[in-house]
Amino acid sequence: MNARRPSDSFIALNESVNETGFRNCPACGNPTPSVVCSHCGAQTVEYEAEVYEESREERFLRAIIARPTRLTYLFIGINLGMFALMWLAGGMSVTGANHFALVGFGAKENSLIEQGQYWRLVTSIFLHIGFLHLFFNNYALWIIGQEIEKLYGAARFAALYMMTGIVGSVASYYFYPDATSAGASGAIFGLFGALATFAFRGRSDIPDFIRKSILRRVFPLIAINLILSFSIKEIDKAAHIGGLIAGVALAVLIPYQRAEEKATPTVWRAIMVLCIAVILISFAAAFKNYDGPPLELSNLAASPTTQFLDYFQRMDDAQQALIDAHNTFAEAINKREEKADIKVILADVERGLGRLKNARGANEKSERFLERLTSLLNEQKKILEKFASANEKDWERTEADFKQFHQHYETFRNDYGDWIRELTGKRDGD
Q: Which residues of 316-352 are buried (b: 16+ CB within 10 A; e: fewer)?
A: ebbbebbebbbebbeebbeeeeeebebeebbebbebb
Of the candidates 358, 371, 359, the one whose C-alpha atom is nearest the C-alpha of residue 415 is: 371
Distance between start and end Cα atoms, the chain: 76
Of the candidates 201, 192, 199, the one whose C-alpha atom is nearest the C-alpha of residue 222 is: 192
CB 91, CB 302: distance < 8 Å: yes
Active site residue 389: no
Q: Which amino acid is at 243?
A: G
Q: Cα dist. 65→60, 135, 149, 242, 265 in Å?
A: 9, 25, 11, 30, 20
Catalytic residue among 128, 133, 240, 326: 240
Q: Cα dist. 76→9, 13, 19, 193, 302 in Å?
A: 53, 56, 63, 20, 24
**What DSSP string describes 308-324?**
HHHHHHHHHHHHHHHHH
Active site residue 99: no
Catalytic residue among 9, 169, 172, 185: 185
Q: What are the backbone angles phi and psi of residue 386, rounded to the nearest 5°?
A: -65, -40
Distance separating alpha carbons of residues 166 and 186, to the nearest angstrom: 8
Number of residues assigned to the chain:
430
**What DSSP string describes 289-312?**
T--SPPP-GGGGGS-HHHHHHHHH
Q: Which residues contact 94 (CB under 8 A, 6 or more apart)?
A: 130, 131, 132
Q: Cα dist. 183→32, 169, 311, 413 in Å?
A: 64, 9, 26, 34
Q: Which residues contact 381 (CB under 8 A, 6 or more apart)?
A: 346, 349, 350, 353
Q: Where are the beta strands (DSSP E) in 18-164?
A: 23-24, 31-32
Residues with catalytic function: 185, 240
